Amino acid sequence: MDIINERFSLEGRKAIVTGGAKGLCNKMAQALHDAGAEVVLLDILDSVFESADIMAASGTPVHAVKGDLSDFSTLNNIYSACLDKLNGRVDILLNGAGIQYRCPAADFPQDRWQKILDINLSAVFYMCQMAGRTMLSQHYGKIINISSMTSFFGSVLIPAYSASKAGVSQITKALSNEWASQGINVNAIAPGYMATELTQNMKEVNPAQYNEITSRIPMGRWGKPEDLSGLVVFLASDASAYISGAVIPVDGGFLGK
């Protein structure tokens, strides 16, 4: 049992979580913290400071950095601020920040397309690139990108989101090919339909669509934030030492149906 606990422990590890102020990313950051990691929450929201204070109430330190990942001119400074909080070391990067916009493809606004690609795809690569340089110098690191179930199949009304998440999956594989031999594991999690504030709105506004989706999930329910916690800790820990370049669905069996 001690061997198992040691393999999954994140004691002494240092992590950066983008989009960590709230929602699924906050819960994944909490899982890393509960496993022993010192965490920096990076988000554009002012609430990131309160979220860090709440998480830091017990266990290892939690820090907050506010920054706009779509402003590429500030990314180096944002990353440096995160790294400074961790005394120059980062063992885990969780790229979770993302945005969404629903619109028929024929009418999809160019500015919305660009903003989604900037945050969901380009910023993910740049954060991987900056953290990767640090990890290469350490000869150790765990990068976990948040892709989506939509990276496996075409969707409707979310062309930019689907394109961005498919790109995240491919970036994950490409970086793994370059860095796996140098002590860096690069993997992605592809959540399915998850119960969040946004999907709660769908349940109320369009119950027929919500029920139709639910009927297609073999487990008969939407995912909960805690359904991601175990996989996040696993991929961040030494228990996943021989896993790299994987895109792992967490979807209640949806893709297998």
In the numeric block, the tokens 């199949």 are attached to: 153
What is the layout of strands, in order, in the sheet containing 247-250?
A: 62-66, 38-43, 14-18, 92-95, 141-146, 184-191, 247-250
Q: Cα–Cα distances in Å, from 77 out to 29, 39, 70, 121, 123?
A: 22, 18, 13, 19, 13
Q: Please tell me the distance from the alpha carbon of residue 167 to that of residue 146, in angstroms, as a whole number.
A: 11
What are residue 76's phi and psi, to 5 degrees? -60, -40
Which value, in Å, is the radius of gyration of the alpha carbons in the chain? 18
Q: In angstroms, rounded to a whole number, what is the distance separating the alpha carbons of residues 255 and 192?
A: 9
Query: Does 161 participate in catalysis according to the annotation?
Result: yes
If we measure between CA atoms, which residue out of 174, 157, 158, 153 comes closest to residue 251?
Answer: 153
Q: Of the candidates 34, 98, 105, which has an alpha carbon nearest to the alpha carbon of residue 70?
A: 98
**Distance from C-alpha of 97 to C-alpha of 107, rounded to nearest angstrom:** 25
Structure tokens at 225: 């934030």
User: What burial letters (b/e) apply to 101-116, b meaning 16+ CB within 10 Å?
Assistant: eeeeeeebeeeebeeb
Which of 79, 126, 161, 193 is catalytic? The answer is 161
Q: Which residues are catalytic?
A: 161
